[in-house]
Amino acid sequence: MSNARRQNVDTVTLKLNGAPAAFVFRTMEEIESMQNASSALLPHRHNYYTIIWVRQGSGMHHIDFRSYVVNPDTIYFLTPEQVHHLELDEGSKGYVLLFTPDFLHEHGLSQQWIENTGFFFRCDDMAPFHLEPDMDIKYLEHLVHHIRDEFKKADAFYLDAIGSWLKLFLLECKRLSQDQKPAAEVRTNTRALLVKQFRNLLELNFQQWHKVSDYARELHITPNYLNEVISMETGTSAKDFILNRIMLEAKRYAGFGDLSAKEVAYNLGFDDPSHFSKLFRQHQEQSFSDFRETTRKKYH
């Protein structure tokens, strides 16, 4: 038996009948049945995208250390690598769409298009999308039923058809969400592009680059200008974006792994573990070990 320690939360790959899959459709009833049959559905991360539409039911949904009460007609959009744990009460109904990044590329949905929907981000900065009673929910469900039917039939080119219906579903969600939000200041293409470039760089390099100047240098702009644009567009400074991303990964290690604070510090690019521990305490208002104990009591 291996004595290797768990370094981080388990990653679940997308499978259907035990084999790798590009797309899977499930009902909430099927998810409930899986939960009842398995004790393994503890906090985990996926290497694929997940859309969960709760039509009716209740429970709790924990996403990267934020907890949401499950309410009817709420849609959750999860990006690969997010840690989540769905606790459903008996009798919940709805739909779950699971698809890999490769599925998107192969069936006409680019990574950029997905990001531009505004629903999928690499970290947890998108609240669940609640459907209001005056919205055309029937049409949205009509689109999901087409996806379900194609998946069940699995006829020739069914994945291509699912890709088309999925794009229509996401477009309709975007329309409905924009109708729900008050009018906002129109962003310039240049500023919006810079935010996207910064966030992409952050996801790739947060374990090595801890300073705003690191990202500004790669983007060929000054640190002050990068901070100004990120703050203007998002309400959060570039410095805080970097720190929040590092701390999110640190919390994942603390809550779901067995590495010590010192080991986590080195994994996240800190030469001085004591500096990491100080930052963690300041950010979370508790020590690494206290956070680990609190999280494990909550999820295990």
The domain ranges of the chain are 11-180, 189-299
d(CA 52, CA 26): 10
- Residue by residue, DSSP assigns 65-124 as TEEEEE-SSEEEEE-TT-EEEEEEPTT-EEEEEEE-HHHHHHTT--HHHHHHTSS--SSS
pLDDT of 212: 96
In this prediction, residue 281 carries a pLDDT of 94
d(C-alpha 97, C-alpha 166), whole Å: 9
> What pLDDT score was predicted for residue 274?
95
* Residues 205-226: tens digit of each pLDDT: 999 999 999 999 999 999 999 9
Q: What is the bridge-based pairing of β-strands 93-99 and 23-27?
A: antiparallel
Tokens linked to 263: 């080991």
Instruction: Identify the pLDDT of residue 256.
Output: 81
Mean pLDDT by groups of 10 residues along the chain of 300 residues: 49 83 92 62 75 91 81 89 80 93 88 81 67 91 97 95 96 86 54 85 93 96 93 88 92 88 96 95 93 79
CA distance 244 to 233: 17
Query: Is the pTM higher than 0.75?
Result: no
Return the number of other C-beta atoms located less than 10 Å from residue 94's C-beta: 23
Q: State the architecture of 189-299 in CATH terms.
A: Orthogonal Bundle (1.10)
The CATH code for residues 11-180 is 2.60.120.280
Pick from 278, 277, 256: nearest CA to 265: 277
DSSP helix/strand/coil, 135: coil
CB 130 within 8 Å of CB 72: no
Quick one: pLDDT at residue 63? Answer: 79
User: What number of CA atoms fall less than 13 Å from residue 188's CA on the CB side?
Assistant: 6
Q: Tokens 């590329």 appear where?
A: 105
3-state secondary structure of 167: helix
pLDDT of residue 38: 54
